[in-house]
Each structure stands twice: as C-alpha cells, then as structure tokens.
C-alpha cells in the first residue's frame, strides 16, 4: 500500500512524452519544474492542500534529457511545505545541473540559508494562491526577503490575476528581485491588449528587476489541449499573452515545463508538445536563446558566465 494516497482526480504525469519537433538550443534550462517525494522517503507536509503522485529526481533528470534541456530549476512545491529536503536532494544529485527555489519560514537562520545556498538554492517562493496555501502574513514574507537578500537570491511569486491589485504595493516593496510564475495567471479568454493583462504588464514595467515565467499554457488554456494537426499546434489561446511578454521584456523572461504538472484534472500535457509551444511565443532564434539559455543562466548560474 502506498504511504500516501494521491488526491482523487489527480492525473499522473505523461510517462512517455513525444520528442519535441522544436530542437532546444544548447544550454537550455527548464526553469520551472518540481520533484514530489517519493513520499516514502520524503514525506509530504501535514499542512498540504493536495497529495501528488510521486515524481522523483531520477524521473525529472530523465525527462530533462529526453526533451533536450541541459539544466533545471527545481521549485519547491506546496505539498512539501517548508521542508526542502526532496528538492535539495535533487540539487545535490544533479552534479551542478540543477538550482533550486525554496520555501522558508520567518526566523530562518543565516546558517540554514547558507546551507541551502551551498546546495544550489538561489531563490525563495512566496505563494499567494489560496487553493494551495493558507495566507502568510506579509511581515513574515518581508522577514524572509530580508534574510535572503545578502545572498543575492530572488523571490518567485505565484498569484492569481485578481489578486495583483491587492498585492502590488507589497510586491514592489520586496527588497529582492521578483520572478512571477505563469504570467500572473491571466484569463486568456480576455483581450491580451485589454486592461486586465495591461495591469500585469504595468506591474512588470514598475521595476527593472521583475522577471516573468511565460509558462503553463496547459494550466491557462481555456481551449484545451493542442491537437496533433500536422503542425503540432501550440496552446493557441495562450500564445498572444506569452508572446506579448517575451517581445516587451526579452531579457526578463524564463520558460519551464512545470513537470510533473501539479493539480491538473482536465488534461495532462505531453511535455514534448509543451516544448513545441516555445517557438510560437519566441519567434526568433535570438529571442529563444535569451528565454531558454541566457536569461536563466544570468539568474541561476551567474558565476558560469
């Protein structure tokens, strides 16, 4: 019997993704992915809002190689709470090919931050998505930001579009660079040139050190999964939003798979098709190089440049 029963309705990740038609450039980084457990070795957090299926570091590294990525950024998922051991175990096993983003509680000691830094952590995650976490007091997040600032880390922030107006002032006051997950979760049935997405673009313009992950078409699409219609069609309804961000902020965008795709109940993406989304949102080789290679290298492997 499994140590943990996954949440009913949860879809398993795609075990045999197709080979992408788009060939990733040399040095491409999957800048948003996770490891889950395995729960028998790295138990899920008691306060979690969902129980995932296991997704080990070996499986993550196998996907990386199959898709053609060189390196990965492993982001702490809420199902592991602030216990970063599974993520850190993946970083340590990666031979320098993975960096991490941790969850930290206020009052974290300098020694803990230093140890995480030595393991390859370069950021902390502030999650504001209500279905995933209980709200943390903003003072707690500020405390964490102040503790990581001396290490040159950034804060990865995950919020829903509707919550940006209420969070904007706080986020702009955070004393470290910000990286927004999944374009702030726009409603892609609306106009990418309209006021709702305009407010998000304005937020990105407000500081030169706010980055954006143009990720998760599979999560944001309202039209559903792409059909294999001869041109391996991308998630077309998400393309104008992501492309808009890439074209205005080419030096501050990142891309990743979000494997193993937590909390998807509609469809589970074929990760090969997800990679084929990239040329639709970054139409030139120069933009793709920045998105997949140069930008993540600058943020996560600056010493290698």
Active-site residues: which are they? 258
Q: Does 217 bind ligand 0GY (CB under 6 A)?
A: no
Q: Does 275 bind ligand 0GY (CB under 6 A)?
A: no
Q: Which of 11, 132, 136, 268 binds ligand 0GY (CB under 6 A)?
A: 132
Work out whether the CA dihedral 104, 108, 110, 112 comes out positive or negative. negative
Question: Please, which residue, 31 or 232, has the CB nearer to ligand 0GY?
Answer: 31
C-alpha 145/C-alpha 6 separation (Å) is: 33
3-class secondary structure, 61: helix
Question: Please, which residue, 232 or 264, has the CB nearer to ligand 0GY?
Answer: 264
Q: Which of 35, 55, 60, 77 binds ligand 0GY (CB under 6 A)?
A: 77
Q: How many residues bind ligand 0GY (CB under 6 A)?
A: 11
Please check whether residue 214 is in contact with residue 190, taking contact to mean a CB–CB distance below 8 angstroms.
Answer: no
Please check whether residue 249 is in contact with residue 281, taking contact to mean a CB–CB distance below 8 angstroms.
Answer: no
C-alpha 192/C-alpha 86 separation (Å) is: 38
Cα-to-chain-centroid distance, residue 149? 20
Question: Please, which residue, 32 or 244, has the CB nearer to ligand 0GY?
Answer: 32
Q: Does 30 bind ligand 0GY (CB under 6 A)?
A: no
C-alpha 59/C-alpha 35 separation (Å) is: 9
Q: Which of 28, 63, 79, 176 binds ligand 0GY (CB under 6 A)?
A: 79
**Interface contacts to ligand 0GY, rule CB under 6 A:** 34, 77-79, 132, 158, 181, 219, 258, 262-263
């Amino acid at each position: 019997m499994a140590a943990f029963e996954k949440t009913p309705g949860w879809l398993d990740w795609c075990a045999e993704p197709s080979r992408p038609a788009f060939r990733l450039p040399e040095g491409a980084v999957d800048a948003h992915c996770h490891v889950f457990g395995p729960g028998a070795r790295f138990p899920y957090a008691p306060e979690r809002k969902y129980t995932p299926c296991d997704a080990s570091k070996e499986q993550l590294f196998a996907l990386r190689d199959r898709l053609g990525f060189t390196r990965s950024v492993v982001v702490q998922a809420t199902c592991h709470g602030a216990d970063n051991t599974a993520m850190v175990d993946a970083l340590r096993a990666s031979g320098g090919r993975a960096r991490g983003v941790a969850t930290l509680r206020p009052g974290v000691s300098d020694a803990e931050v230093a140890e995480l830094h030595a393991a390859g952590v370069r950021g902390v995650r502030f999650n504001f998505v209500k279905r995933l976490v209980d709200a943390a007091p903003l003072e707690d997040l500020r405390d964490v930001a102040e503790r990581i600032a001396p290490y040159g880390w950034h804060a990865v922030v995950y919020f829903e579009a509707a919550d940006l107006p209420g969070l904007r002032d706080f986020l702009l006051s955070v004393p470290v660079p910000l990286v927004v997950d999944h374009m702030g979760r726009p409603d892609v049935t609306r106009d990418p040139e309209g006021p709702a997405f305009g407010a998000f673009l304005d937020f990105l313009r407000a500081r030169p050190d706010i980055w954006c992950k143009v990720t998760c078409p599979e999560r944001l699409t309202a039209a559903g999964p792409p059909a294999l219609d001869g041109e391996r069609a991308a998630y077309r309804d998400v393309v104008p939003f992501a492309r808009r961000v890439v074209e205005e902020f080419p030096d501050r965008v990142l891309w990743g798979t979000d494997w193993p795709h937590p909390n998807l109940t509609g469809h589970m993406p074929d990760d090969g098709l997800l990679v084929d989304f990239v040329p639709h949102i970054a139409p030139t080789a120069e933009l793709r190089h920045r998105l997949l290679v140069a930008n993540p290298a600058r943020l996560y492997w600056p010493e290698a440049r």
